């Protein structure tokens, strides 16, 4: 894996300056869908588009596993922050914390 630097911006600071890199996989087939920078504590309910470091999913409106075709989330604008995000369906993805450089 190449060296990945985490973003340091106002969103990270607003969530306490705490970030980690997650490997997001499809729950159904186990295929890796994306590498994602999660800021702050709490469950992963949505994935902000600008926080997706690498994507292996099918391009389009929804977040779809390219191996099995399972829809993992839908794209929308998170009104609180006016940012594009994928709202994840409950139980559709698994996540694993990985080290960032």
Q: pLDDT tens-digit profile of 62-92? A: 999 999 999 999 999 999 999 999 999 999 9
pTM to 2 decimal places: 0.84
Residue 38 is encoded by which pair of tokens? 């999660």
Q: Which domains does the chain have, with CATH numbers?
A: 10-98 (2.170.150)
* pLDDT higher than 80, residue 93: yes
User: Mean of the pLDDT values across residues 54-59?
Assistant: 85
CA 21, 43, 16, 14 dihedral sign is: positive
* pLDDT higher than 90, residue 35: yes
Q: What is the pLDDT of residue 58?
A: 80
How is 21-67 classified by DSSP, letter by letter? Answer: EEEEEETTT--EEEEEEEESSS---EEEGGGEEEE-SBPSSEEE-TT
Return the higher-pLDDT residue of 9 and 57.
57
């Amino acid at each position: 894996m190449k060296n990945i630097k985490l973003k340091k911006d106002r969103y990270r600071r607003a969530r306490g300056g705490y970030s980690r890199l997650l490997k997001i996989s499809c729950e159904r087939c186990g295929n890796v869908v994306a590498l994602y920078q999660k800021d702050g504590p709490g469950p992963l309910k949505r994935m902000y588009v600008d926080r997706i470091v690498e994507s292996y999913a099918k391009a389009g409106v929804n977040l779809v596993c390219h191996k099995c075709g399972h829809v993992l989330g839908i794209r929308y604008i998170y009104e609180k922050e006016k940012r594009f995000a994928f709202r994840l369906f409950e139980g559709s993805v698994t996540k694993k914390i990985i080290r960032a450089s």
